[in-house]
Amino acid sequence: MSSSNGMVEEELLVPIEEYFNSAVNIGTQQKTKQMVKYVYKVRTDGLYLIDVHYTDKKIKDAAKLLARYDPSKILAVSMRVYGQRPVAMFARATNAKAITGRFVPGTLTNFSMSDYIEPDILIVTDPFSDQNAVKEAKKIGIPIIALCDTNNDLSNIDLVIPTNNKGKSALALVYYLLSKNLLKERGIDKFDYKLSDFEYEDAVI
pLDDT digits (tens, 9 = 90+) for 123-146: 999 999 999 999 999 999 999 999
Q: What is the residue range of 184's domain?
A: 16-198
Is 8 inside a domain boundary?
no
Is 65 inside a domain boundary?
yes
Is 96 inside a domain boundary?
yes
Is 204 inside a domain boundary?
no
Could you tell me the pTM of the whole model?
0.92
For 134-153, the DSSP string reads HHHHHHHT--EEEEE-TT--
Is 162 inside a domain boundary?
yes
Residue 156 has pLDDT above 50, yes or no: yes
Residue 5 has pLDDT above 60, yes or no: no
pLDDT tens digits, 176-198: 999 999 999 999 999 999 999 99
Is 155 inside a domain boundary?
yes
Length of the chain: 205
Is 2 inside a domain boundary?
no
> What dihedral angle (degrees, nearest 10) is formed by the CA atoms of 127, 151, 24, 187?
-30
Provide the residue type at 89 as one letter.
M
Q: Residue 9: pLDDT band by 50, 70, 90 thresholds?
A: low
Is 26 inside a domain boundary?
yes
CATH number of the domain at 121, please. 3.40.50.10490
Number of domains forming the structure of the chain? 1
* Helix locations, 96-199, DSSP H: 131-140, 168-185
Q: Residue 205: pLDDT band by 50, 70, 90 thresholds?
A: very low
Residue 60 has pLDDT above 90, yes or no: yes
Q: Are 59 and 161 in contact (CB under 8 A)?
A: yes
Give me the pLDDT at residue 2, please.
Answer: 44
Mean pLDDT in residue range 65-86: 97
User: Minimal CA–CA distance to 177: which of 3, 13, 28?
Assistant: 13
Residue 46 has pLDDT above 80, yes or no: yes
Beta-carbon contacts of 170 under 8 Å, excluding residues fewer than 6 positions away, are: 22, 23, 24, 26, 163, 164
Give me the pLDDT at residue 10, please.
Answer: 72
